[in-house]
Structure 1
Amino acid sequence: MLVKLIRYLQANGIKKPYIYDPMVGGGTSRDVAEELELPFIVDDIHNGFDVVNDDFHDYGFDLTMLHYPYWRMIDYAADLPKELQYKDMSRMEWREFIEAVSHVNFKAAAHSRYVAVLVGDMAYKGGIKSIQREMSWPGQPVRHIIKVQHNAASFRKQYAGNFIPIVTEHLLLFRTDYKPGGEMWILVPASVRKIDVEKYISWKSAVKHVLKKMDAITPSAVFEAIKRQFPSKLQKTNTPEATIRRTLQELEAEGVIRRKMRGIYEVA
């Protein structure tokens, strides 16, 4: 299915889509991107990554893949160290879970031109829990594919009476509406709402993005690039120059950039 999504993007003018998957699991997204020789970044809770609270690793993706846990059907973090288990979304209460899903959708839309969300519905006594119906949609839906959910729990259960099992899942592809200036329209159940996109893009992600096109990296050059591409970030801090200097120091400590001389850096 990921290959078909990539072909769709390529048919719409994105020849080498930049792929991001923060819930890579078994590694399908990585394998597909490597096979097609596409740029990609992947991560997962099993690497200690908290998709709700941690920074996404870059900005300017063409496609972000999101495959959320099926709430409490599977305990994804059971084999993780205890200090990481609290990051598992499947252990949240339902309303907290849906709010977290919507938050991650917004983060993805703030970082990516397209967002693909793969989710299933879950039966419980008296009804169903439907992630795709209750979550906020992060842009204009361009495809909604209902596919067979392989290895669905319903295949392995015996149901009394005339119960109809749930054996499908939803793949939704959204085109995001982000434009420089920090605002984007998203669809919330029963309403349309404008959100502040740059709330979901950290200073570190923004700075890492603008560094890609710089040979000599200086605080003043980064300031001008942020002013062009993320203007509202400058309006929300009284000390943008100090914030940029601190962010460059953090990126130097992480090995993303290295210092050539005082006040001048280069990509490591």
Structure 2
Amino acid sequence: MNSLLSYPDRGHWGDSKWRGNCSGYVIKDLVEHFQPKLFVDVCEGSGTSRDVCTELGIDYVGLDLHKGQDFTKDFVRGFLPRPADVCFSHPPYGAMIRYNEVGHWQDPDLQKSDLSECNSADEFLEFSQTMLLNQRLATREGGHYATLIGDMRKAGSFHSFQADYIGMMPRNELVAVAIKTQHNCVSDRRQYRGNFVPIMHEYLIIWKRSAKTMLQVSIDKAAELQTREAWTWRNLLRMALIAKGGKASLQELYGLIERMPQASTRREANNHWRAKIRQTLQKHFSRVDQGVYALAA
């Protein structure tokens, strides 16, 4: 197994008629590489993982919403005889394929927990983090949890979910990201015009569970967000000073930041943005005159 995966045919495992089905070769590669004694799939779908593990003689537990297991509400570990060595997911990518509409299951009570029924990318990501944290808790310390996720383009917006997935889980647990070429997709038969770039790949993201508690994970993620916010303010001010030739007054910087499109979300999220600018300038930049700041030497 390496960081580039390509399987021109999906193999004989599972049901090829199940839309969005994962290639059995992904599961085979994971099993042969990590040699798990117990493999768990929390989005089993048509049973591809089950068939691969049966063929390879690996203990297996397969969960899925259409079977009544809901990782947004149910504790995955509670369905297992012991913690998983590898816990895998291949979730629906938002509303790209709506599974109750293509006949895979039809139960109105389950629609609220179905990732293919999400109304927005933010809702999908919130459910996704629950899924990944649930997988992590179902995995033994030193074991691996993994997900196969693609990008999504919808209504003119492009979402790279793999970047979000990596950002929402413990940074020091990430061990690999493999790029998987997609073959035999419905979109392959379409003709595209202009500068449109079709999506032809997915990402296999693999983490190794550490001994961190859920509290430690939460504290670490909060600290990372604070660090990134500090970077953003610092870099916005750095760009504003660069635009002014390396030196500018406080009032000039206020005006420049207000006009920067990339700064709008920072301003909306922080009602005291002028105070934040002053604080960042005092901490990271050089004051060269009364109310005038420059790039640090």
Give a deviation string over 1:126-154, Cα, whole Å, max 9, x none.
44112111132356222211111234343
Residue matched to 2:145: 115
Residue matched to 1:76: 99
Deviation at 1:111, TM superposition (A): 1.5
Amino acid at match of 1:142: V
SS in 1 for 2:58: coil
Quick one: distance in 2 between partners of 1:47 and 1:37? 23
SS in 1 for 2:130: helix
Structure 1: which 5+ runs fail to align?
A: 11-15, 194-268
Residue matched to 1:227: none
Amino acid at match of 1:185: V
Identify the match of residue 56 of structure 2 among 36, 39, 43.
Answer: 36
Give a deviation string over 1:10-38, Cα, whole Å, max 9, x none.
3xxxxx42111121112111011111111
Shift of the 188–121 alpha-carbon distance from structure 1 to 2, 3 Å rule, reads farther
Residue matched to 1:131: 161
Identify the match of residue 201 of structure 2 among 139, 164, 168.
Answer: 168
SS in 1 for 2:211: coil
Deviation at 1:177, TM superposition (A): 1.3
> How many aligned residue pairs are there?
187
Identify the range of structure 1 (52-61 vs 63-72) with the bigger mean alpha-carbon deviation. Answer: 52-61
Higher helix proportion (structure 1 or 2): 2
Quick one: distance in 1 between partners of 2:39 and 2:176? 18
User: Between the two proteins, what is the percent identity of the paired residues?
Assistant: 32
Residue matched to 2:217: 185
1:8 equivalent to 2:40? Answer no
SS in 1 for 2:217: strand
Largest Rg, 1 or 2: 2
| Structure 1 stretches of at least 4 aligned residues deviating more than 6 Å after TM superposition | none
SS in 1 for 2:46: coil
**Contact 1:114–1:174 (8 Å) recurs in 2:** yes
Shift of the 114–102 alpha-carbon distance from structure 1 to 2, 3 Å rule, reads same
Quick one: distance in 2 between partners of 1:137 and 1:131? 13
Structure 2: which 5+ runs fail to align?
A: 1-25, 227-297
TM score, norm. by length of structure 1: 0.63
Give a deviation string over 1:231-254, Cα, whole Å, max 9, x none.
xxxxxxxxxxxxxxxxxxxxxxxx
**Contact 1:20–1:41 (8 Å) recurs in 2:** yes
TM score, norm. by length of structure 2: 0.57
